[in-house]
Amino acid sequence: MFDQTELAADGAFQTGQPFTINSINDVNLDGNMTDRPNSTNGIESTDDRSRPFRLTVNPATLLAPIGQDGAVPRNAFRATNLMISNVAVIKTVTLSEQTKLIFRTEVFNLFNRANFGIPVRFLESPGFGRSINTVTPNRRIQFGIKLAF
């Protein structure tokens, strides 16, 4: 009998998706309720991946003057980074010249890291800056066995 063991791994590391912070007020009077703020003073970054931003001032102080566009550009902010790590262990046992038994264990999201999506981006929302969803599932483990003949 001959045994063979293989290890396979893959992963991805990406910077966070860009997004725009908006207000639900139409301060530039264009008829759209998605105006950008005039300043980012009062929007703090945090070390909490589930709440990467928080407001430290009244959101009304960040808005542009009536009839003017906000100075903060589109996609000026980024969501948290994305990290995915997967691994598989495959063990092949040769039973005879033409028959093999293959055991396979696969682990997806090996480190069980929560990869959060874009946080709530509307200044007036009580959940502003909080990420309320994940973009990848939690850790999953699957086992398989195959008889090849």
Q: Tens digit of pLDDT for each residue in 102-129?
A: 999 999 999 999 999 999 999 888 899 9
40: pLDDT strictly greater than 80: yes
- In whole angstroms, what is the distance from residue 54 CA to residue 132 CA? 14
66 CA to centre of own chain: 35
pLDDT digits (tens, 9 = 90+) for 48-79: 888 888 888 888 888 888 888 888 999 999 99
pLDDT at 1 (0 to 100) = 54
- In whole angstroms, what is the distance from residue 132 CA to residue 49 CA? 11
- In whole angstroms, what is the distance from residue 92 CA to residue 112 CA? 28
> What length is written for the chain?
149
Residue 84 sits in which domain range? 3-148
> How many domains is the chain partitioned into structurally?
1
Straight-line distance from the first to the last Cα atom of the chain, in angstroms, rounded to the nearest whole number: 15
pLDDT at 93 (0 to 100) = 95
